[in-house]
Structure 1
Amino acid sequence: MGRGRGGGGRGRGGFRGKNKKGGDRRDVRTEPWSDIRRENALFESYYKTGGFLDEKEFEQMWKYMASDLPNSFRFTGTKADALAVREIFKKRYIPAITAVEFEGEPVQPPEPVKAFPDELVWHMKTHKKVIRRYKPFAEFQRFLVAETTAGNISRQEVVSMIPPHFLDVRPGMVVLDMCAAPGSKSAQLAEMIHGDEEERVKRAASNESFNATDDGDYSDDGRSTGLLIANDTDYKRAGMLVHQVKRLNFPNLIVTQHDASIFPSIEMPPAPGSTKPQYLKFDRVLADVPCSGDGTARKNPNVWQKWTPRDGLGLHNLQLRILMRGLQLLKKGGRLVYSTCSLNPVENEAVVASAIQACGGTSKVQLVDCSNALPELIRKPGLNQWKVLDTSHINGEEKINHMFTSYESFLNTKEKYEKEEPARQFSNKITRSVFPPVDAPSEAERIPLERCVRVYPHLQDTGGFFIAVLEKLDDIKVAQPGASSKGKAGSTDATPVPVQASEHSDATPQLSAEDAVPSAPSPTKRKLEDTEDDAASKRFRTETEDPAQDATNKDGTTTSEPVNDTTSSTPGPNGTSQTPQPRLKSESQSQKEYFEYLPKDDPTVSDILSFFGISPRFPRDRFLVRNKEGLALNKMYYTSELAKTIITHNKDRGMRFIHCGVVMFVSHKIKDKDAMKAPWRLQNEGIKILEPWAGKRIITCKSRDEFYRLLIEMFPKLPKDGSHELGEVGEQLMQLDIGCCFLRIEQDESQGFPFRMVLPVWRHPGSANLMVDKDDRKAMLLRLFNEENPRIINHVMEKAKEEAEKESAEATEEAEGETEAKEEDTEMGDAPVGTE
């Protein structure tokens, strides 16, 4: 059930096939996941002797580490909707599960995780053999699947929910999620950015007063002015990300595909009275970086087989470069959260300390004491001292494990073996920056790494996780992380070099070649991908209205080759690998999707908004189309004002935008559409954004039975003359012209409506139809009417089937008649002459 992540780009268990370059990615395991022995002497030895926990507590932690991870999930969406769905879950499913007994003992039901507020996060520790045996668990599983599909539940690992809470996001803030796929944290951030805007928008649209600055910035007529940019370097993982965030239907969101370590500066319009462009700085940045993922060993058994100390050493420099870029993009006074699902200090405290030193010390960037954030979360402080593990070898054999306490001890050991065993090799990834920082001259200059947060598996039965919260106090400018402090290429004494800061010095003036194309491929987020995330990747397809781009493969991906943030290595002299100089790709190569805004006075938009009686206060200039010509052909998307500004100023600068906007209207392709006033359908995704501002074509439903009929039947009859079975809803629809309309259902516990709903309904000449797909219909029938396997009746399909069967029967009857006639003719032709 958990929606966790693997990392390191090492492939997913069970995946068979070849990568883009033809390499075999077959999983070579010979045993199933359940049979993998959760033992690794080196893995255990490092965390046992590395000074992380005392011996007794370590034994407790390691016992948890080798056990299965509880399943966990989170109620999502607006707080009101999330609480309503939570209550249905508590009242319907918890009592049924609590009543189950196994081997004479009551079964432990799902429980809320105390660390998170409002009982919106739950976990379940029940063993799989119990879950598979009893019906209440099967019913609960169906509920989870249905609500996850509907976007009301996110099945997510508990520890991965922590970083967004520490980021302290409020509506109106501009936020960057640097390594966002598959998107569960992005979904949390998006919810925080939008806050409780629905009620404020409703008041604004009704010309009632509302507080536009309470707990955030709602100055856009009650709408949050904030924005989330969710980024991932890998095209397929960006697809998972789009799949995850699209369900939330938030217009204040952009998905990009860039190497996080060189994420490009985003150009903004010049300040009033100036011609010089400005560059976007973020209020909040989340750097949940690629890591070795050893904290996920409870759900990723492959960690036990493949863990080595070089996993963390190999990722340290990339993690440092991502963190440094995040700090450059952060505003003064802004907050950045750095996190990993690894327990290795080389990937955690070492990265944080090196970044602060490279920025100029604690006067530029400070670690924030976040002990007050999630006060119920049980945690351990960050480490100020640690050891670095390396395994030396001679041609892959004769391995020796070494624990180094300082960079000098590493150099001394290496020098010793160079004399005694010249063939012995050490990791070339060990640099000064992977070790604890040297003692500071004063307490004010000391980096208080104890303010970092470590979550160990035994503390509250979770995976392992690391979080650090940093605040930017002043502008910074740093050398490229990984550059030699001695200026010697290839030196192992690599560490970021602090240089003198200057005002706005960390604003990159334009997209350089390095901004557009990284020098080496970055690993993906974790070592393993959950099956659910992989399925999302297969379902992903970039939406487009360009016919040339509409062809898709069987797995749902576009036929055009995705743009990758990598350059290929070519063989050099003596068989060495040479990486070509990065170059900025041309527009035709790099721009695979189109994002064009319609003009404010576009006649199609004007006709649609007039048809629905949309208030003139609703923005007319935020409608986006996805074709090169910028024409309203098929779909129209709605975005926030800031999203529009960013897209407009950066779409031709090499930025790779993957997704932006919420589908608001879709063209209704029928023969007589010219006779219609607005041949466009409202979409379920965007209808709640538009509905508060509508003055026409609003249908109200107050009856549970009438709504049930609309859900269970597609295209129920609504003739011009004659009776119908849609009650008051039908009577209201009868008064409307052909076209789409709003179905409004207010919260009413007496009718079983736990929260307010707005859904699109199409008024046909002889019928009506709720414009909701089958999965959403089934989710609503389960949520509101507790129907587990409803049969959705499609009158149009059934009528077509009846007509086809009738035609088939008539054709069969006609064929049989012709056969009988031929047989009769034959019999008469064979009769003797003269007989009667």
Structure 2
Amino acid sequence: MGRGRGGGRGRGNFRGKGKNRGGGSRGGDNRSESWSDIVRQNDLYETYYRQGGFLEEEEFEKMWKALASDLPNSFRFTGTKSDALAVREIFKQRYIPKIQSVQFEGEPVLPPESVPAFPDELVWHMKTHKKIIRRHPPFAEFQKFLVAETTSGNISRQEVVSMIPPHFLDVKPGMVVLDMCAAPGSKSAQLAEMIHGDEEERVKKAANSDSHGTADADGDYTDDGRSTGLLIANDTDYKRAGMLVHQVKRLNFPNLIVTQHDASIFPSIELPTAPGQKKQYLKFDRVLADVPCSGDGTARKNPNVWQKWTPRDGLGLHGLQLRILFRGLQLLKKGGRLVYSTCSMNPVENEAVVASAIVACGGVSKVRLVDCSDHLPNLVRKPGLNKWKVLDTSSLNGEGKTNHMFTSYEAFLKTKEKYDAEQPGRRFSDKLVPGVFPPTSTSEEERIPLENCVRVYPHLQDTGGFFIAVLEKLDDIKVAQPQNGKQSEAAKNKPESGSATPATGPASEQPELSAVEDEAAVAPVSPTKRKFDDAELEASAKRLRVEPDVMDQSAGSEAPDSEVPEAVANGTPNPEQKSEPKPEPKQVTKLKPENQSNQKEYFEYLRGDDPTMNDILDFFGISPRFPRDRFMVKNKEGLLLNKIYYTSELAKTIISQNKERGMKFIHCGVVMFVSHRIKDKDVLKAPWRLQNEGIQILEPWATKRIITCKSRDTLHRMLIEMFPKLPRDGDHDLGEVGEQLMDLDIGCCFMRIEKSEGEEGFPFDMVLPVWRHPGSANLMVDKDERKAILLRLFNEQNPHIINHVLDKAKAAAEQEEAREAVEVIEAEENGSEVENAGAA
């Protein structure tokens, strides 16, 4: 079914400066009371959004009422479009009518509804109250369907507003895309689907003809029908990166790499160059910067907003968000697009960041803020703000807190000057910099059209709050050495002596490099990551035991230094600085070599003429056109021990070129083969099993070991029975599949199931791996996936899976246990007879 075997955003505690500032959440939500008992009130939060100039009073009341209500449950049908539509139809025809028949207190219950903002009815939400859901069986059946298809990768349970940013990126197959802050991975899954497009159908056509694919307006499929694109999904925190791997692995896409780096200093990715030529670095067609934020738009699901939100949350994150956005623009191709998004409604984290980045890059002639009104035209939205107020809370000797609403940086300076004279001990936030206020421009040509940004408020279509901006890179941008506030202050106080390179003063500027040349990462300035508090995804990960396969190799390779304007690093754009400053010596920073001794795995590619791989591919009759040099193993020696993975060509290039440069690769590759160990190895020509994860990639190119299943009864039998008997001579109950297996040697094979009409037909194409044993056959699909297929195709709620091998082993164990018990009893009886004889 498709590729699949088969998010949550929250706000962290951003105010601390402890040792955990280096990334990741600092613990989960420790409240003891239930979400329904949380008092949904925060006077400071309400004051800011009521008086900050965001909405008219009447509309604000609607928004505030929506914020205090529960968020609807939402989900999205995933995978290839044809498969997603097929699963959607099963859902609509089987579950919607049952829910529609339910009544509560004499009124019909509202069933799940499609969200009009998204095309093809692929996004749905349900507003039914939990107390109704718990009372009626149709909801329990629907819940089982959701869980099964989520595990299989055919459904993603994701908040509606978080589905918006990938649509605004306008990704086409063949593009190279970076998701900078990707965890927990729901947006990455969307991007991966877009990169692969409809390649399954194109590969089938290419495999059945001499065509090698095309590059057209729909995307680049020139790799024999396969998409040439790539997604790099990144997150700075190891734990969240593990959640990201869990989310994207279900999709089984080979054009995907997961990395673990600080997004604000994401390292440049080196590309192969000929000897003697200048080094080349990867540039991206599309970049998603869904940055860490205060999360005040998540108040409908996140109690921390009501309990702890303060204006300092947004002020404290502004600088980090700006550095991430600027780094994303650096990594973007000229003509490429970047989407900047947050789940905050605060302009300090939104329009202020966008405006500051554009100013720092050189203005609207360098970076254009795109009008995206034609994207998702049915999405109800508000334009971005050109004017706003900034809220700060001052205190006098730690007490006497006073709230202030400033319209400009000059107004803040006047107020501060007044208090400095009257109350010298009163303190304001040190994060109130010019860049958090609305920009000023001297001409219409230089004006930044912030109204092109998109604001989604909770009351517009019953969602959370969200912000999206689409930026297009028009020209090379100027770059300068990066500094954050602390670095700048430390540099000012540091005497210039010896060989130390000055970190202050005029920053050297130079034009940005060409489309594939770039600067590598500088010394880390670790961000604070938003807290991951999506209970649904976390519980799912615990069930599936998420363990990212880390590969972190380096040899201290030197690379050019990455540079960010000082204004960006300090969160203070300087539009008046147009003259060329004096150049300063560059600080070249190496990617830090890591200790390899404790690493779990390495990613090593096999040679294209590897004899074992050739034997495996010949056994299955794989066409010579299928690439032989993209198979990978995960051990330092490059040995074929247990699993063999497959990746795309570009993924291979990036892994091979950068694995010794300190890049932290967390995941790459789809499992294609697993070694099969049985006692009688002599009967096996290829002791490797096809895997459900990668079988659809390989199957169009196979000419041997292919069987077809045309009967629903036969498929049902193979799903509910593991290892049904298939003797060389004699009867079997496996129908047309059994007849075909009888003619095959021992080993794995492809079982094709073609889409067919009617009640006895199949709603979509499938291909599943089957193992032919000497005396039995087995569908190589795990128990959970069997149950998911049985539910999907046969509507079996609680199927009993028969495992003949396990039952046989259990019977043997019981027989052995009974035999041992008899021996013990006999021994005890014999002992008693001896004792009695002695007594006599």
Pairs within 5 Å for 1:488-637: 502=511, 504=513, 511-512=520-521, 514=522, 517-519=523-525, 521-526=526-531, 528-533=533-538, 535-536=540-541, 539-543=545-549, 584-588=591-595, 593-637=601-645
Structure 1 equivalent of residue 444 of structure 2:
443
Structure 2 equivalent of residue 399 of structure 1:
401
Structure 1 residue 825: Cα displacement: 5.1
Count of aligned residue pairs for this structure pair: 781
Structure 1 residue 174: Cα displacement: 0.4
2:762 to 753, 773, 778: 753
Structure 1 residue 274: Cα displacement: 6.3
Structure 2 equivalent of residue 5 of structure 1:
9
Structure 2 equivalent of residue 98 of structure 1:
100
Structure 1 residue 592: Cα displacement: 5.5
2:368 to 338, 352, 366: 366
* C-alpha distance in structure 2 between counterparts of 1:423 and 1:606, whole Å: 77
Structure 1 residue 810: Cα displacement: 2.3
Structure 1 equivalent of residue 794 of structure 2:
785
Return the letter of the residue paired with 1:518.
P
Residues 296 and 344 in structure 2, CA contact (< 8 A), matched pair in contact too: yes
Structure 1 equivalent of residue 61 of structure 2:
59
Identity over aligned pairs, percent: 74
Residues 636 and 663 in structure 1, CA contact (< 8 A), matched pair in contact too: yes
Residues 329 and 506 in structure 1, CA contact (< 8 A), matched pair in contact too: no
Structure 1 residue 721: Cα displacement: 2.1
Pairs within 5 Å for 1:76-475: 76-207=78-209, 209=211, 212-214=214-216, 215-270=218-273, 275-438=277-440, 440-475=441-476
2:822 to 799, 813, 817: 813
Residues 1:781 and 1:674: Cα distance change in structure 2 (over 3 Å): same
1:712 to 720, 724, 738: 720
Residues 331 and 518 in structure 2, CA contact (< 8 A), matched pair in contact too: no
* C-alpha distance in structure 2 between counterparts of 1:655 and 1:237, whole Å: 17
Residues 71 and 124 in structure 1, CA contact (< 8 A), matched pair in contact too: yes
1:660 to 644, 668, 692: 668
Which secondary structure does the structure 2 equivalent of 1:748 belong to?
Answer: coil
Structure 1 residue 677: Cα displacement: 1.1
1:766 equivalent to 2:771? Answer no
* C-alpha distance in structure 2 between counterparts of 1:612 and 1:391, whole Å: 70
More deviation, 316-325/24-33: 24-33
Which secondary structure does the structure 1 equivalent of 2:402 belong to?
Answer: strand
Residues 1:807 and 1:135: Cα distance change in structure 2 (over 3 Å): same
* C-alpha distance in structure 2 between counterparts of 1:24 and 1:321, whole Å: 22
Residues 1:430 and 1:65: Cα distance change in structure 2 (over 3 Å): same
Residues 1:373 and 1:122: Cα distance change in structure 2 (over 3 Å): same
Residues 1:689 and 1:317: Cα distance change in structure 2 (over 3 Å): same
Return the letter of the residue paired with 2:708.
T
Which secondary structure does the structure 2 equivalent of 1:656 belong to?
Answer: strand
Structure 2: runs of 5 or more not aligned: 1-6, 493-502, 553-587
Residues 178 and 287 in structure 1, CA contact (< 8 A), matched pair in contact too: yes
1:175-198 CA distance string (max 9 Å, x none): 000000000000000000000001
Residues 1:180 and 1:143: Cα distance change in structure 2 (over 3 Å): same
Residues 1:528 and 1:743: Cα distance change in structure 2 (over 3 Å): same
* C-alpha distance in structure 1 between counterparts of 2:214 and 2:507, whole Å: 41
Residues 259 and 665 in structure 2, CA contact (< 8 A), matched pair in contact too: yes
Residues 1:117 and 1:319: Cα distance change in structure 2 (over 3 Å): same
1:659-702 CA distance string (max 9 Å, x none): 11101011112233354211111110000000000011011100
1:138-196 CA distance string (max 9 Å, x none): 00000000000000000000000000000000000000000000000000000000000
Residues 283 and 515 in structure 2, CA contact (< 8 A), matched pair in contact too: no
1:744 to 747, 752, 764: 752
More deviation, 529-538/494-503: 494-503
* C-alpha distance in structure 2 between counterparts of 1:313 and 1:609, whole Å: 58
* C-alpha distance in structure 2 between counterparts of 1:26 and 1:542, whole Å: 20
1:51-87 CA distance string (max 9 Å, x none): 0000000000000001000000000000011000000
Structure 1 equivalent of residue 681 of structure 2:
673
Structure 1 residue 285: Cα displacement: 0.3
Residues 1:27 and 1:431: Cα distance change in structure 2 (over 3 Å): same
Structure 1 residue 823: Cα displacement: 4.0
* C-alpha distance in structure 1 between counterparts of 2:510 and 2:21, whole Å: 44
Which secondary structure does the structure 2 equivalent of 1:654 belong to?
Answer: strand
Structure 2 equivalent of residue 795 of structure 1:
804
* C-alpha distance in structure 1 between counterparts of 2:308 and 2:220, whole Å: 48
Structure 1 residue 652: Cα displacement: 0.5
Return the letter of the residue paired with 1:779.
A
Residues 1:625 and 1:24: Cα distance change in structure 2 (over 3 Å): closer
Which secondary structure does the structure 2 equivalent of 1:285 belong to?
Answer: strand
1:552-592 CA distance string (max 9 Å, x none): xxxxxxxxxxxxxxxxxxxxxxxxxxxxx997532425966
* C-alpha distance in structure 2 between counterparts of 1:634 and 1:71, whole Å: 40
Residues 365 and 472 in structure 1, CA contact (< 8 A), matched pair in contact too: yes
Return the letter of the residue paired with 1:374.
L
CA-based RMSD: 2.8
Return the letter of the residue paired with 1:720.
R
Structure 1 residue 811: Cα displacement: 2.4
* C-alpha distance in structure 2 between counterparts of 1:671 and 1:278, whole Å: 51
* C-alpha distance in structure 1 between counterparts of 2:233 and 2:489, whole Å: 37
Residues 1:220 and 1:257: Cα distance change in structure 2 (over 3 Å): same
Structure 1 residue 511: Cα displacement: 3.9
Residues 545 and 633 in structure 1, CA contact (< 8 A), matched pair in contact too: no
Residues 1:377 and 1:480: Cα distance change in structure 2 (over 3 Å): farther
* C-alpha distance in structure 2 between counterparts of 1:173 and 1:358, whole Å: 27
Return the letter of the residue paired with 1:694.
A
Structure 1 residue 752: Cα displacement: 4.0
Which secondary structure does the structure 2 equivalent of 1:466 belong to?
Answer: strand
Return the letter of the residue paired with 1:445.
E
2:706 to 694, 698, 707: 698
* C-alpha distance in structure 2 between counterparts of 1:253 and 1:277, whole Å: 24
Structure 1 residue 817: Cα displacement: 3.3
Residues 226 and 252 in structure 1, CA contact (< 8 A), matched pair in contact too: yes
Residues 1:30 and 1:398: Cα distance change in structure 2 (over 3 Å): farther
Structure 1: runs of 5 or more not aligned: 12-17, 547-580, 832-836
Which secondary structure does the structure 1 equivalent of 2:750 belong to?
Answer: strand
Structure 1 residue 320: Cα displacement: 0.2
Residues 675 and 689 in structure 2, CA contact (< 8 A), matched pair in contact too: yes
Structure 1 residue 424: Cα displacement: 1.2
